[in-house]
Structure 1
Amino acid sequence: MQHPSELPAHLRGQPFTVAQARTAGLSRRRTRAQDLVSPCFGVRAAATTPDSLLARVHSLTALTGAVVSHLSAAVLWGFPLPKALENLAVIHLTTPPGKRAVRHKNVVGHEQALELEEIVAGVRVNCTSPLRTWFDLAGILSLGDLVIAGDFLLRRRNPLTTIEALDAFLAGKRGRPGYRRAISARRLMRPNTDSPKETELRLLLVRQGLPEPGVNVPIFDETGGWIEDPDLSYEQEKVAIQYDGAHHADPAQRRSDIFRDESARDAGWRVVVLTQGDLTPFAQGKEPLAVTRVRAALTARGWTPVSGPQPRRRRSGRAAGHTSEAKDHTPARPHPPDANGR
């Protein structure tokens, strides 16, 4: 059996268009050889190329010159998305006005103007910036999911933007499609979160009529020594809330959690530990156990419900002025998603 001829050096290890192959002198038969696959019409790639999102969008953008956007850009940047949207087969691509939207199988083409700062050039693909990606999600996600994605932008470690940059960006989008939904989400967003579940839990508590908790506000002992930064907390009532995800089942992590919580209790705090099961009602019409337990903890500490909207709790000057050595509050400059392994 005759093996296909070796590809020219500049076509190896990356997708290339049929037009590029012809320019390089390859025959039609060579472009149809078994060592090549066609990830999309008009594009060829090595058959060993993994079928990942990055490989697929690389192939498509090589053909169209479009910018990866919307849900596809959100996946590349690592945005938390609803499970139903995490592994969609379709790719979202954006082209500028006047250039027809991309039309391909399993492609959603968008035609919209993008500012230069809204495009991040990566080694393999160009995609919309984190801010522009989040704004585009306003037309796709529910309000709660948009808030979760927004908190991810402002997360405590390696945030993708700042509050100031977000507000300046939104000021320039007034009147654009998605603006009202984005502004509604902005009012509910809070910086310095560590996980999407923190946001989900915070929104659940407020929606059920409880006061808004602080996010990762540090707890100190009587000498001013740092104890922990609970996921959520009510400083006035000294109620700390911890959400334990799957990784907390690790024995070493569990021992650390127990020491963490006992130290907080020794300092006079009541600690409520919640898991995923506490966020979901066990029957239709029933209150999630997380709300019941947090309300009970607050009531035991003297809190009483008041009629009307609950005011947002303020951090004390002491808490706002301290940082923990274990926490990094320094914003990081965003990197293209394909340059940081996304």
Structure 2
Amino acid sequence: MPRPRPLPPALQAQPFTIRQATAAGLTRRRARALDLASPCHGVRTPAAVEITHLVRVRALVLATGAVVSHLSAAALWGFPLPLRFEDQVVIHLTSRDGARAVRRKNVCGHRLPLPEEEIFNGRYVACTSPLRTWFDLAGLLSLQDLVIAGDFLLRRKDPLSSQEALDAFLAGKQGRAGYPKAMKARALIRANTDSPKETEVRLLLVEAGLPEPAINVPMLDETGGWVEDPDMSYEEFKIAIQYDGGHHATPAQRRSDIYRDERARGLGWLVLLLTQLDLDPMVPGKEPTAIAKVRKALSSRGWKPSR
């Protein structure tokens, strides 16, 4: 069997529609050759290209002209999502200009007002902006998960938006579906976090009636020199809370953490180390140990419940 003729440069290593193939001079027979794969109806890609989530998304956008949205846009932006949404088999698409919702296999089509300023035209696909993506998640996530996504939106390093932009955006969404939950989440969202676990711990403590800890506020020594930025802290009581995730397990990071905490303790700070085990109740319905540890530390430093 003769080898298929090489594809034109514009069609190599990326998805393309049958219309684009025809415009580039490919015959219908060439578009059905075995060296091509079909990530979705009406689209081809070189068979050597791995059909990743991004390739599937690009193919569907090419075929439909729709905008990637909701959970699919959240995955592209890197929003932290619950484990049950990690499998991105179903692609969410929102149609432009009030067109009919996309109806295809493994596609969840949406027909919603989508202003141009809420569309981000990336190098490979068009997707909803970070703010619009977060707002659309209000109809899919729990309140806690929506707050975690909101904290990610305003994270300390490379934030996707700002508090001012978020408030201005929400001011224009009154009366829209998802607005009440989005506003509840906004009241709990805090800027400058470094990880979803920081948000989870903070919400857990506040829900238990404990004071809300500050986030990544610099700890200073007697001369005003910087010591560290605890994940969370109660400066009034000189209590620092550190969440140890998986990256803290390396020997180098562990040595750094020990030195960090020794300096803090030398300045009179009480340092609490929390892990996932402290967040998961040992028995259903029982209080997580994180709450007990923080409550005990606060009480030892003179804090008293308000009730």
Q: TM-score, normalised by structure 2?
A: 0.97
1:249 has 2:249 as partner:
yes
Q: Partner of 2:168 in structure 1?
A: 168
* 1:146 Cα deviation after fit: 0.2
Deviation string for 1:241-263 (max 9, x for gaps)? 00010110111111110111111
Please give the secondary structure, in 1, of the residue aligned with 2:139. Answer: coil
* AA aligned opposite 2:130: P
Q: Partner of 1:302 in structure 2?
A: 302
Counting matched residue pairs gives 307
Please give the residue correspondences for 1:178-217 in structure 2 after superposition, counting only pairs within 5 Å.
Answer: 178-217=178-217
More helix by share: 2
Deviation string for 1:47-79 (max 9, x for gaps)? 111222211111111111111111111001000
* 1:31 Cα deviation after fit: 1.6
* 1:97 Cα deviation after fit: 4.5
Please give the residue correspondences for 1:277-296 in structure 2 after superposition, counting only pairs within 5 Å.
Answer: 277-296=277-296
Q: CA separation in 2, counterparts of 1:239 and 1:98?
A: 53
Q: CA separation in 2, counterparts of 1:247 and 1:262?
A: 20
Q: Partner of 2:77 in structure 1?
A: 77
Deviation string for 1:77-120 (max 9, x for gaps)? 00000011122201111113431111111111111121222111
1:259 has 2:262 as partner:
no
* AA aligned opposite 2:261: D
1:146 has 2:149 as partner:
no
Deviation string for 1:148-182 (max 9, x for gaps)? 00000111111111110000000000111110110
Q: Partner of 2:237 in structure 1?
A: 237
Please give the secondary structure, in 1, of the residue aligned with 2:165. Answer: helix
Q: CA separation in 1, counterparts of 2:255 and 2:24?
A: 62
1:54 has 2:49 as partner:
no
Q: CA separation in 1, counterparts of 2:5 and 2:275?
A: 57
* AA aligned opposite 1:69: S
Please give the secondary structure, in 1, of the residue aligned with 2:40. Answer: coil
Q: Percent identity?
A: 65
Please give the residue correspondences for 1:295-334 in structure 2 after superposition, counting only pairs within 5 Å.
Answer: 295-307=295-307
* 1:19 Cα deviation after fit: 2.4
Please give the secondary structure, in 1, of the residue aligned with 2:273. Answer: strand
* 1:10 Cα deviation after fit: 2.2
* 1:29 Cα deviation after fit: 2.4
Q: CA separation in 2, counterparts of 1:232 and 1:23?
A: 58
Q: CA separation in 2, counterparts of 1:161 and 1:179?
A: 18
Q: CA separation in 1, counterparts of 2:8 and 2:219?
A: 62
Please give the secondary structure, in 1, of the residue aligned with 2:236. Answer: coil
Q: Partner of 2:100 in structure 1?
A: 100
Deviation string for 1:180-223 (max 9, x for gaps)? 11000000000000000000000001111111111111111111
Q: Partner of 1:337 in structure 2?
A: none
User: Which range is displaced more, 94-103 or 131-140?
Assistant: 94-103
Q: Is the 8 A contact 2:97 2:114 kept in 1?
A: no
Q: Which runs of 5 or more structure 1 residues have no equivalent in the other structure?
A: 308-342
Q: CA separation in 2, counterparts of 1:245 and 1:147?
A: 20
* AA aligned opposite 1:22: T
1:28 has 2:49 as partner:
no
Q: Which runs of 5 or more structure 2 residues have no equivalent in the other structure?
A: none
Q: TM-score, normalised by structure 1?
A: 0.88
Q: CA separation in 1, counterparts of 2:7 and 2:49?
A: 15
* 1:25 Cα deviation after fit: 3.5
Displaced runs of 4 or more, over 6 A: none
Q: Is the 8 A contact 2:69 2:127 kept in 1?
A: yes
* AA aligned opposite 1:254: R
Q: CA separation in 2, counterparts of 1:270 and 1:80?
A: 30
Q: CA separation in 1, counterparts of 2:210 and 2:281?
A: 17
* 1:23 Cα deviation after fit: 3.4
Deviation string for 1:301-340 (max 9, x for gaps)? 1111122xxxxxxxxxxxxxxxxxxxxxxxxxxxxxxxxx
Q: Is the 8 A contact 2:243 2:274 kept in 1?
A: yes
Deviation string for 1:101-146 (max 9, x for gaps)? 1111111111112122211111111111100000000010000000
* AA aligned opposite 2:186: R
Q: Partner of 1:120 in structure 2?
A: 120
* AA aligned opposite 1:34: L
Please give the secondary structure, in 2, of the residue aligned with 1:227. Answer: strand
Q: CA separation in 1, counterparts of 2:255 and 2:51?
A: 40
